[in-house]
Amino acid sequence: MASIGLIGSGSWATAMIKMLTDNQQVKHVNWWVRKQEDIDYIEQYHHNPSYLSAVEVKLDHISLFADPKDVIKNSDIVILNTPAAYLEEALSELQPADFKDKLLVSAIKGIVPSIKLIVGEFLNKKFEVPFEDTVVVGGPCHAEEVSLEKLSYLTFASKNTANAAMVAQYFQTHYIKTVVSNDMLGVEYGAVLKNIYALACGICHGLGYGDNFQAVLISNAIREMEYFVNAIDPQKREINQSAYLGDLLVTAYSQFSRNRTFGTMIGKGYSVKSAQMEMNMVAEGYFASDCIQDIILNHQLEMPICNTVYNILYKNQPASIAVKNLSDKLT
């Protein structure tokens, strides 16, 4: 019987618990929940009190842990599902030996900000996890819609597609369809970039730009994404597939998109700090913008949308001026 560990207990992690327990494959799930009081609540009431609290947590094949080390020790497949900014802290007590012979799955659509690496690269450098033993989860799949069992598609990408397919089988349900890909870096970088582009859409919305301009912005964003991933990892890929374009569209337009919401607040005049405090949730695009900027500079890439978001968030350029300048560069 497969033993699957899940590190994280936010909205996306709770949605994954629902997928794993609704799936018919035989398995046991070890779940790390950060707060002991949340563990006590879940064990008593079968609901996560902090996130997606309407979702029933089926405890028949779930063990709850307060220590991530216990989850990893007892699991063959380990799914990482914390905000990227908190991943290092969550794994701080672990050593490379703890990950030996484990299959690692990243459901984190972000960059580890302290070392500016995507999760697959972070696992490889810090914990010596081979890229072939890493699977990245992407695709347009908001946690809130999963909780409502709205039909959604997930892409599982790995340099070893057999591993990707093996992980994917544990997520298939009547409302989740899965796609397997060998483009691990493309899917992971695409998932990072779409958060920045969604933030840009939110900023423009907050400034009062309309649907016509948003459509032009997204059209340019998908081309900018393709240019970036081809520069970083040249290979044959279809950028209009759901893991790239689909994820970008839902994150840019959906009411559930925290990156779009964060951007809208910036466009309306909130400071970064005040927007973060009011949202009380992590918008991955904020950290991603700073990290991606380093890569843009190192590779001397022309990325006007990413540059604009970075200048607004980190250089205090007025959003109205930055977007006006950007509008002259779009086609």
Record the tokens describing residue 316, joined without a space. 């205090």
**Structure-derived torsion over alpha carbons of residues 303, 307, 309, 310, reported in degrees to the nearest 10:** 140
- pLDDT above 70 covers what percent of the chain? 100
pLDDT for residue 194: 97
Per residue in 293-316, pLDDT (tens digit) is 999 999 999 999 999 999 999 999
For the chain, give the number of residues. Answer: 331
Whole-angstrom distance, CA of residue 94 vs CA of residue 250: 35
- Neighbour tally for 65: CB within 10 Å: 19
pLDDT for residue 124: 96
Segment 88-93 mean pLDDT: 95
Per residue in 143-175, pLDDT (tens digit) is 999 999 999 999 999 999 999 999 999 999 999
- Give 281's contacts (C-beta < 8 A, 6+ positions apart): 258
User: Are residues 174 and 194 both part of a single domain?
Assistant: no
User: Are residues 222 and 107 both part of a single domain?
Assistant: no
- Neighbour tally for 98: CB within 10 Å: 15
- Neighbour tally for 320: CB within 10 Å: 14
The rounded mean pLDDT for the chain is 96
Q: Which long-range contacts (CB under 8 A, 24 or more apart) does 22-28 make?
A: 22/173, 22/175, 23/169, 23/170, 23/171, 23/172, 23/173, 25/169, 25/170, 26/1, 26/2, 27/1, 27/2, 27/3, 27/61, 27/170, 28/1, 28/2, 28/3, 28/4, 28/61, 28/62, 28/63
User: Are residues 162 and 217 both part of a single domain?
Assistant: no
Q: What CATH number is associated with residue 177?
A: 3.40.50.720
Whole-angstrom distance, CA of residue 74 vs CA of residue 80: 15
How many alpha carbons fall within 13 Å on the CB side of residue 75?
27
User: Are residues 32 and 74 both part of a single domain?
Assistant: yes
Among the candidates 152, 182, 212, a domain finishes at 182
Segment 107-113 mean pLDDT: 93
User: Are residues 194 and 150 both part of a single domain?
Assistant: no
pLDDT for residue 279: 86
Contact 27, 2 (CB under 8 A): yes
Whole-angstrom distance, CA of residue 331 vs CA of residue 236: 25
pLDDT band at 106 (very low <50, low <70, confident <90, very high): very high
User: Are residues 147 and 103 both part of a single domain?
Assistant: yes
Whole-angstrom distance, CA of residue 95 vs CA of residue 316: 39
User: Are residues 307 and 221 both part of a single domain?
Assistant: yes
What domain range is 23 assigned to?
Answer: 2-182
Whether 252 shows a pLDDT value over 80: the answer reads yes
Among the candidates 182, 199, 219, a domain finishes at 182
CA distances from 261 to 109, 118, 198, 279, 317 (A): 17, 23, 9, 8, 19
pLDDT for residue 299: 96
User: Are residues 199 and 279 both part of a single domain?
Assistant: yes
User: Are residues 306 and 166 both part of a single domain?
Assistant: no
Give me the number of domains the chain comprises. Answer: 2
Contact 81, 107 (CB under 8 A): yes
User: Are residues 173 and 250 both part of a single domain?
Assistant: no
pLDDT band at 55 (very low <50, low <70, confident <90, very high): very high
pLDDT for residue 280: 75
Contact 202, 267 (CB under 8 A): yes
pLDDT band at 281 (very low <50, low <70, confident <90, very high): confident
pLDDT band at 282 (very low <50, low <70, confident <90, very high): confident
User: Are residues 170 and 203 both part of a single domain?
Assistant: no
Contact 189, 109 (CB under 8 A): no
